[in-house]
C-alpha cells in the first residue's frame, strides 16, 4: 500500500482542477490518499532578502515534511498565461531552498500531472513545460493528463464517458506502477 499525496497547485476556492483531482482520486483504491492544496500552506513571495531576514516560513517546512512522508504524487495545476500559477512557482521556490541533491523537492518519487481549463487546450502548454521541469525538482515523471473544455466535459461533477475512460487508464497505469 503506497501513501499517495494529491497536491492542488491552485488557490482558487472554486478550482476546476480540484474537481478533476477529486474525480481522479476517486479512481484509486487500496492505497492511502492525502489531499493537500498550495493554499493550505501560504508563503510570502520568495525573495533572497526575505529568506535572509525572516528565514523559512513554517508553512514551507511543513509542506517539505509532508512531501517526504509520501511515496508518490498526483499534482493538478492550472495554466496561467501558458505557465504554472505564480502561487505554485512561489511554493516551489521556497521548497527548493530547503532541498538539496540528496533530498530534492519530490524525493525522486513518481509523479503524475493533471490539468484542466475552460478552453480546448486544457492547460497542455503548462503541462509540457512542467513535465520538463519536474525532473529538475526531483520528480520521477510518470505521465500527464490534460482535460480541455472543462465545462463541456464535466457535467454536475461527472466526467463524460470517453474522458473518464482515458483518465481511468492514466490513473491505473500510474497506480499499477507503484
- Total number of residues that touch ligand FMN (CB under 6 A): 15
If the CB atoms of residues 43 and 147 are measured against ligand FMN, the closer one turns out to be: 147
Q: Which stretch binds ligand FMN (CB under 6 A): 9-17, 93-101, 106-114, 128-136?
A: 9-17
Residue 138: name the closest of 114, 104, 112 by CA: 104
Do residues 141 and 135 make contact, with C-beta atoms less than 8 angstroms apart? yes
Spatial separation of the C-alpha atoms in residues 130 and 135, rounded to whole Å: 9
Spatial separation of the C-alpha atoms in residues 69 and 54, rounded to whole Å: 26
Q: Which stretch binds ligand FMN (CB under 6 A): 12-20, 31-39, 65-73, 106-114?
A: 12-20
If the CB atoms of residues 53 and 81 are measured against ligand FMN, the closer one turns out to be: 81
We find the least distance from the C-beta atom of residue 61 to ligand FMN, in angstroms, to be 25
Spatial separation of the C-alpha atoms in residues 32 and 19, rounded to whole Å: 19
Helix (H) or strand (E) holding 175: helix 161-176
If the CB atoms of residues 107 and 150 are measured against ligand FMN, the closer one turns out to be: 150
177 binds ligand FMN (CB under 6 A): no
Q: What stretches of 91-135 adopt beta strand conformation (E)?
A: 109-116
Which residues in this chain contact ligand FMN in the complex, by CB under 6 A? Answer: 10, 12, 15-17, 78-82, 117-119, 121, 123
Amino acid at each position: 500500500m503506497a501513501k499517495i499525496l494529491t497536491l492542488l497547485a491552485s488557490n482558487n476556492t472554486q478550482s476546476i482542477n480540484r474537481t478533476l483531482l477529486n474525480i481522479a482520486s476517486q479512481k484509486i483504491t487500496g492505497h492511502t490518499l492525502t489531499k493537500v492544496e498550495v493554499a493550505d500552506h501560504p508563503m510570502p513571495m520568495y525573495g533572497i532578502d526575505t529568506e535572509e531576514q525572516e528565514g523559512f516560513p513554517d508553512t514551507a517546512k511543513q509542506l517539505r515534511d509532508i512531501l517526504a512522508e509520501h511515496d508518490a504524487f498526483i499534482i493538478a495545476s492550472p495554466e496561467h498565461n501558458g505557465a504554472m500559477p505564480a502561487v505554485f512557482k512561489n511554493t516551489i521556490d521556497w521548497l527548493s531552498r530547503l532541498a538539496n541533491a540528496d533530498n530534492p523537492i519530490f524525493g525522486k518519487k513518481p509523479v503524475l500531472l493533471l490539468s484542466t481549463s475552460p478552453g480546448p487546450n486544457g492547460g497542455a502548454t503548462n503541462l509540457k513545460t512542467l513535465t520538463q521541469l519536474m525532473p529538475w525538482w526531483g520528480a520521477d515523471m510518470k505521465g500527464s493528463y490534460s482535460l480541455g473544455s472543462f465545462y463541456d466535459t464535466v457535467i454536475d461533477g461527472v466526467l463524460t464517458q470517453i474522458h473518464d475512460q482515458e483518465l481511468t487508464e492514466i490513473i491505473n497505469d500510474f497506480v499499477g506502477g507503484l
